[in-house]
Every structure is written in structure tokens, then in C-alpha cells.
Structure 1
């Protein structure tokens, strides 16, 4: 399996955030007499890599599910921004965008069809995808989207760990640590929706701009 720059930075890196509470829970609640690092190295560093990559796929699926829920009413930014272009682009600029799609791909947009707008945008994205600037923005959006899934997994793990430590108290210090981690992972959940929407809109605007300005 080939892992490219996007995979590392947008999928695997945010997944490591979910790995932190997993390591904390395993090391403090299950292997209290053995360091988790010793366990990992005993089984081989390759095991850790496999676990992280597997976790990244789970994070991605959860993130895509919540992304779809965030945009369930409005549709993706690539749809509502272009169907309501007057709110985001000048009339002249947008006419150039539609005209260039027709000229470059021989594709005529059905202005009342959401799927048509999405298909046109996917053609545009494929055309400018190799741009370093667009790749950077794509990685940033992917990172933030997958960060949401990673945080949600972490929150669930820490929530049940906190309940366990509260109802079966054995170490007050561990309970305090679990509460601190739970609060820390709760904060992004409250703000990620707005962050994802704004970054999604910014990404679409820059893809459209890159396409129109390209030769």
C-alpha cells in the first residue's frame, strides 16, 4: 500500500491524536505494571504502524459521516457556493468560470441540478489538483475534517474511562487526569463545525480562482 503526502498529513497525523488517549487508557487501566512503550517495542514497531494506519481509516469514515451531517441541509460548499454564486463571487468572474468549464471539458452545467454543479467542480479540482497551493489547502481541509473524527473517538474513550474511574475509584489522580483530558478533547468538538465549514468554503473559492486564472 502506497502512502503519499496527503495520507501522512491529512489522515495519519490527525489519527495520532486519537492514539494518545488509547495509550493512556491501556497503560493506566490495563497494563499498570508494564510500560505501554515496552509492550509496543516487544511486539515490534511495525505493529504500532499497522494500528495507526488502521485507526486512520476508522477516523476517516467517522469524519466523512459527520462531514455529511454538517452539510446535510445546505449541501457541500462546492454546491451551495456555486449555485448561489452571487454571495461569493462577482458576476463577471463566475461567468468566466462557467465558460471555461464548457470550453475545457465540453461540459455544460445544468444550473438547477446539484449533481451537475458537483460534477463540474470535480472536473475543475482534477485539473488543478497538482498545484502545490491547492494540494496544501486540500491537506489542510482533510486534516481538519479527520481531526473531528479523531477527537470524537478520543472523547468516547475518555468518557468511558472517566466513568470507570468514578464508579470504581482506585486512583484519584488518574480520575483527575481523565477529567482534564476529557475537557481538553471536548473543546474542539464545540468549535470544529464552524472551522470545517469555513475551511471548506475557502478551499472551494481557491480551487475556482486557481482554475479561472490558469492558462
Structure 2
């Protein structure tokens, strides 16, 4: 039986008095690629910040590798790698300098040269962050999430801004991480990405977990109601339409 490495139960949180998370629950197994889907404002990035300990739910509980993120930030930092959607670095900081700086925070970091090659930045080691393209900056943010050799990694919209070749390379990197036993939480708007990569997905809607399971099951359920459903994108959009009708 697979070990549970992330356990989120009935998480609820208000920001500036507004409910952002109302009832979010899901689990992630060791070595699993788990997708979090949902429209803008559903609570996906807020959930990621709760997993990092940056935000603390007012109700419910979150356990990551057996730890409460906000109570054991040092342990979480050594165990979990995070790539956030809005991460920024000083414009003059070079790619390899950034990797080596972050590597200094960890007891057993990955080799900076090998890591830059793995994310397709081998030729950009001396390139300042401010002179990188958006896709190159995104690749560097992924490298920084991986530098500490994490057991778990949380990726928030990781392929946004990547060209097709870069996207292909990054998705293969995720598969390689899974083969190495790393558990991956993938927050994405790309349904083809989720369908190809994820063992299971959770669909969030207005701060609530509305569906959890393998992508193939969501497609099968939707196809049972509508034979014209072809893929996860069709099934997901149909689920959102139903949720909006029932609000």
C-alpha cells in the first residue's frame, strides 16, 4: 500500500475577510504525480502556499511528509521543493550563481552544472536573470525547486511561457522525477498536460474540492452523460458548467 506524503483535510482560509479556501481535501501518495485543476480564483495557488507553510488554514489540517508546514519550516524546506508562479530573482544574478546560492541552503544539493543541463539551461550558466527570456526564467525556477533533492515537489503553472520544445523537455523531467521516487504536485491549466502526466487529479471550484480521481475516470463519467466527450479538457469543462449551473 502506497505511503501518503501529503494529507489535506477540510482546509479553509479567508484572506482580507474573503473566503479563498472553503473545503479543500486530497491526499498525495509517494511517487505519485497529482494534478490540481480549477479555474482562476479556485484556490489552487493558495493551496500550494499552504503546503509550503507560507499560509496557514484557519480550519482543517495539512500534513506534508508527516509535518505541519507552518510549524516545521526547516523540515519542510529540506523535504519539499516549490516552484511558484510569481517567483522573481535579482536581474543581475546569473543562472549558475542562483543555483549555487540556493544549493547552499541544503545538506545534500544536486550538482549545479548537471541541474542546469537537465532543465535545458546548460548554455545560460552565466546569463543574468534579467536578460533571460520568460521561458528561460521558468526553467530556472524549476531548477531552483529541484536543487535540494526534494522528496516532494510542488509546481505551479510550470510550463507557462515555455515553447513546445521546452515544454516537452520539462514534462520529461517530471517523468524522470517520478521514476526516482519523487512525489509531484502539478498545478496546471493545461488539460493535455494533466491527462498525460497525472496519476490522479483534484478539481477545485470556488475553494472547494469538487472531484478527485484518475483523469480517465473523470473522462469516463463525463462520457457516460455525453458521448461526444473526447478527452480530459471536454470532461473538465463539462464539470465546470455543471458546477456553475448548481451554484
Same fold per superposition (TM over 0.5) = no
Bigger proportion of residues as helix: 1
Bigger proportion of residues as strand: 2
Larger relative contact order, structure 1 or 2 (CA cutoff 8 Å, min sep 6) = 1
Which TM-score applies when normalising by structure 2?
0.21
Larger Rg computed on CA atoms:
1
Which TM-score applies when normalising by structure 1?
0.23
